[in-house]
Amino acid sequence: MTIENVSWNKSFGGWHKQYTHHSDVLGCEMRFAIYLPPQIAQGEKVPVLYWLSGLTCTDENFMQKAGAQRIAAELGIAIVAPDTSPRGEDVPDDADGAYDFGHGAGFYVNATQAPWNRNYRMYDYVVHELPALIETHFPVNDKRAISGHSMGGHGALMIALRNPSRYTSVSAFSPIANPVNCPWGKKAFTHYLGNDPESWKAYDSAELMKHNAQPVPALVDQGDQDNFLAEQLKPEALLSAAQAVDYPLELRMHEGYDHSYHFIASFIEDHLRFHAQYLL
């Protein structure tokens, strides 16, 4: 489980660093970013918030645009941001170079269909391999929360719902809440998981929430001027599922906000303080 440090920048008394490593799960070289708050200098082991980004993103988008480091430094929370898919010349990609499938669009599932099942196992990478790597190499404890945006919001909610004992809390910005019923989800799931929509439900947050027996506290923020709101994101499906089973979900609609990192930067402090209630 060797890692290589490829960049580092001091930030709010802590450090933002990028590392590369070979992933046995994904069968390729991967990169992740980590923010280590200043509390580690005093010998503290800190909890970790895992951030999952959306379509077309890498580990860099959130770390550079969201402005999360200031509050993470205050609270003493590490942030880990993986890439959004396996990458490399030997990793299959969309034949037409589409942004919503293949490289940059792993959807945080374990693919079952060839040729995607050779590399596209982002679920196992995020849930198991990456945390084991982080907890081996960095001064962190075993408390984890998870969050994300758009495709990453789908990943965060779905992963927390499937692994409630691994995460103290979950949050999302503009998540793809019901992927079995939207164009992005149908395209990705058909290629990665096959033609049986019933099998897709294992990776659908709205479907999983209907049958959840061990709730993880959840916060979701959505802008009402998001171009993808009606066709792709479907927060009403998530809210309906939560209401049906009395799930501890707070879903907030924000007037005038869109799908961009301007929206995330506006409310990221709320999310970090929400997670801090459970991580600290």
Residues taking part in catalysis? 150, 226, 259
The rounded distance, in Å, linking the Cα atoms of 71 and 275 is: 12
Q: How far is 114 from 58, CA to CA, in rounded Å? A: 24
Distance between CA atoms of residues 81 and 53, nearest Å: 8
**3-class DSSP string for 183-200:** HHHHHHHHHHHCCCHHHH
**Whole-angstrom distance, CA of residue 167 vs CA of residue 217:** 9
The whole-angstrom separation of Cα 70 and Cα 145 is 18
3-class secondary structure, 73? helix
C-beta of residue 176 within 8 angstroms of C-beta of residue 232:
yes
Q: Which amino acid is at 95?
A: A
